[in-house]
Every structure is written in structure tokens, then in C-alpha cells.
Amino acid sequence: MNTIEVYESGPLKGEVFVQGSKNAALPVMTAAILIPGVTVLHNIPLITDILYMITILRSVGCVVERNGDSLYIDACHVNTSQIPQNAAGKMRSSIIFLGAMLARMHRAGIPYPGGCVIGKRPFDFHVDAMERMGAVVAAKEKMLTANVRNLHGADITLRFPSVGATESIILAAVLADGRTRVFNAAREPEIQELCGFLNAAGAKISGAGGSELLIDGVSSLKPVEYRIRPDRIVAGTYAIAVAATRGNAHILNTPKEEMGALTDVLCKMGCEIKEEGRGIFVDGRNASAPCGYVRTGVYPEFPTDLQSPLLTMLCVQEGNSIIEETVFEGRFRTAFELEKLGADICVKDRRAYITGRCRLHGADVCAPELRGGAALVIAGLLASGKTIVHDAWFIDRGYADICGDLERLGAKMTRNRGQWEEDLSLAIRN
């Protein structure tokens, strides 16, 4: 049993604080294995993906201590290049150990990665890039093995600006011989974070945030203390929840400069969004205009990770709308769950056609993946009566306390966990 019971809640009001970024923290934690010393990271969110990452780091020989939202990663004695199946199979991020392990150990054994089921999510870009840098990679029985005498710099052009593949290449290239150039690199803020961290540790990377990266290999990296940026996707989820309920709230610790695509869409629907210090004020009381067409894309376009929460909002919004998903082909499974609540959505290929002004009603639904789960929680706030979101453990992968955060804004909900999930939740907090 792992459910969230959500009740129709009316307009959300008040203030909520945004956690540190999952997708920024995970690659920076991976990068810590390149540094023989103690890396100190602050603003690490207490979520299950981070717990799995700590498990991986410990299993390869790192000593990891946690104090509140700070992590101390001692990577002096990395003693194996083999990533354990139990943790790797649970998260997509484990694939970026391919580049990091080749850099640190000259070999790697990586079980096929897990994570949310949102399309094919292959790893051919990662493998091709490592081969271009001199590694020999083989795939057998759901395991990637790789070895290399010395990684060398290379010119690598990505067919798609994959976030994970760009991270893998950066992790491999920082300690490689010579210069690596990455063309069509991902431009997401999480790439800037990884490069900012590595440069602070002595790496030579330029071009982060653009589509061409230049990485000059250095002989070693030194330990640093670093603060992880706030989570733009969690901030965006809460902004949509406030707007969809026609509420008004302060969302504190928000990386507003990373959220232009979302705030443009919300403003088009009539929301008022004001910058306030290190946060934003979202006023959805007059958000009555139709949205029309939204297309997801790579940064700085509308993030695929906010597609499902927006889909929920558009079900109750004025007018009909279309969302086109260009990043992950399998990311409309939330639509079928929303239909159980009375939504009127027609999915054809990569497009969802949404009939607005729907009156949603409570029902039992299943979180199909992390962001889809959060979208169903928002749907529960809008639906009459009680909605039960099953498989809520998906949501714990990325949201430290979605119930507590939304309750602070006036939402009515109850979290139910089974014993092992209680144990896991306790392990995260201790």
C-alpha cells in the first residue's frame, strides 16, 4: 500500500519552499567519484532517487555521510567499477556512471538503467560517445561493460541534445587526455550545474548553457563545497497546482530565470506572476483564458517533465487545447488516468487533444511515473470528492514532501504508506 488520498481543496494559498534540484544533484553526486577527497554538497533533496544514488556511491567504496540537507562524499577509496543492480535498476541516472567510472577506474560495469517508463529511453548516445573516446563497450545480459587504457578527447556530435549523454561525456572528458568538443550538447540548467561544480573542482569546461561544449582534460580534480540549485520542476509543479486551483501563493526559493517557458504559458492563461526576492508570487485568480497549443522541447522550451501537470490543468481550463510531446514518445500515460476522473483527452501519436472546462470527479488512479503521479495529485485537488492516487512511491522519487508542501497551501490530503515504505522514508530522513 502506498497511496495519497486527495480531496477537492479549493484555491491554494500561502507560501511554500522549493527543495534542491534532483536532476542537478544526481550528476554532481556522480561527479564526486572523480575527486579523491571529501566533496561537500548542500541543498540535497531528501528523495528516494538520492537514497539510491547514496547506495551506489557506498557500494563502490565511497564513504557518504548526511547531515540535514548536506552530504559529505569521501571518494578517496573507490574500489570497484561495478554498479550494483539493485540500486541502478531503480533509476535512469545510473547510466552516467559509464563516463564517470571509465574516467576514475578505466573500466565500468553498469546494469541497464531503470527509472520512469516514459518511452524507449535508450543509451546508444552514451555508448557511441565512450567508444569515440577510446573505450571498448559491450552489452550482454542487461549489463554494459566497458574498459579503456586512457580516455582521449574527441569531437562528438549528438543526434539529439540528450541531457544524460551530455553528462556522461562531460564526466568522461574532464580527466581525459586532450580536448573534447560536444556539438548539439544539452543546454539544460542541470548541465550548467554539473559544469559549474566541476570547474570549481579544477576542470576546464567552457560553453555550458550553449550547444557547443569545450572540455580540456586536466590531470586531477580537488575537493570542493558546493550548493545545489533549487528544483525548477518542483517549483513548476507547485506553480501549476496554484494556478489550476485559481489560488495565489508565494513559491519561495524558485529558480525563476529557468522557468520562462512555463511562466509564459501560465501568463497566457491569465495568471499574474511576480518576481519576489528569491521566489515568485503566482496569482491564478483570473486564469480564465484558453491555452491553445503547447509543445514540449529541450531547454529553454517547455519542459517535458511539466507536461503532465499542465495536462491536468488544461482539463479544467477554458477552451480546448493541444499538447505536443517531442522529447519522450511514451509520456501521455497520465491522460488515461485523468480520463478515470472524467477528463476528456484524445491522444494521437505525440499529441494530446484536450477538451477544457471538464468537471473532474474523484476516483482511484495509478501514478504511471514520477511527474505523472504529481499531476494526478493536482487533479485530485480539482476533482469533487476523494481521489486515491496509488503507487505514490513514484512521487517520492522526486518530491521530498509533496503532501506537506501542498497542505501548507491549504490542500486536503492524507498519505498512506506500507511498512517497508515507512522504513524507506525513515531511512531517507536519518
Interface residues with ligand UD1 (CB under 6 A) are 23, 26, 92-93, 119-126, 160, 162-165, 190, 304-305, 327-328
Instruction: Determine which one of 62, 76, 116, 315 is catalytic.
Output: 116
Beta carbon nearer to ligand UD1, 186 or 409:
186
C-alpha triplet 254, 256, 260: angle, nearest 5°: 140
End-to-end CA distance of the chain: 22
Q: Which is nearer to ligand UD1, 22 or 340 (CB)?
A: 22
Q: How far apart are CA 232 and CA 18, in angstroms?
A: 8
Residue whose C-beta lies closest to ligand UD1: 164
Q: How far is the CB of 343 from ligand UD1 (least distance, A)?
A: 22
**Smaller CB distance to ligand UD1: residue 2 or 304?**
304
Return the number of the residue (47 or 411) whose C-beta is nearest ligand UD1. 47
3-state secondary structure 375-392: HHHHHHHHCECEEEEECC
CB of 161 to ligand UD1, least distance (A): 7
Q: How far is the CB of 54 from ligand UD1 (least distance, A)?
A: 15
Distance between CA atoms of residues 62 and 5, nearest Å:
39
Alpha-carbon distance 416 to 255, whole Å? 31
In sequence order, what are the residues at sequence separation of 6 or more whose Cβ sits closer than 8 angstroms to the Cβ of residue 186? 158, 161, 162, 163, 165, 166, 167, 298, 299
Min dist CB 28 to ligand UD1, Å, is 11
Distance (Å, whole) CA 186 – CA 425 = 33
Active site residue 116: yes
Would you say 133 and 125 are in contact if contact means Cβ atoms under 8 Å apart?
A: no
Given the complex with ligand UD1, which of 8 and 167 has the nearer CB atom?
Answer: 167
Query: Which residue, 94 or 263, has its beta carbon nearer to ligand UD1?
Result: 94
CB of 310 to ligand UD1, least distance (A): 14
Q: Which three cell numbers stand for residue 283?
A: 496569482
Please check whether residue 41 is in contact with residue 25, taking contact to mean a CB–CB distance below 8 angstroms.
Answer: yes
Beta bridge partners of 416: 3
Compute the least distance from the CB of residue 220 to ligand UD1, in Å.
27
Cα–Cα distance between 99 and 312 in angstroms, integer?
A: 37
Cell numbers standing for residue 206: 567552457
DSSP 357: S
State the minimum distance, in angstroms, from the CB of residue 5 to ligand UD1.
Answer: 27
Q: In what order do the strands lie in the sheet with 204-206?
A: 155-157, 179-183, 212-216, 204-206
Residue 283 or 305 with smaller CB distance to ligand UD1 = 305
Tell me whether the omega of the peptide bond preceding residue 300 falls within 30 degrees of 0, making it cis.
yes
Question: 22-31 and 48-59 are packed helices; what angle lies between their axes, rounded to 10 degrees?
Answer: 10
DSSP lists the bridge partners of residue 398 as none
What residues are annotated to the active site? 116
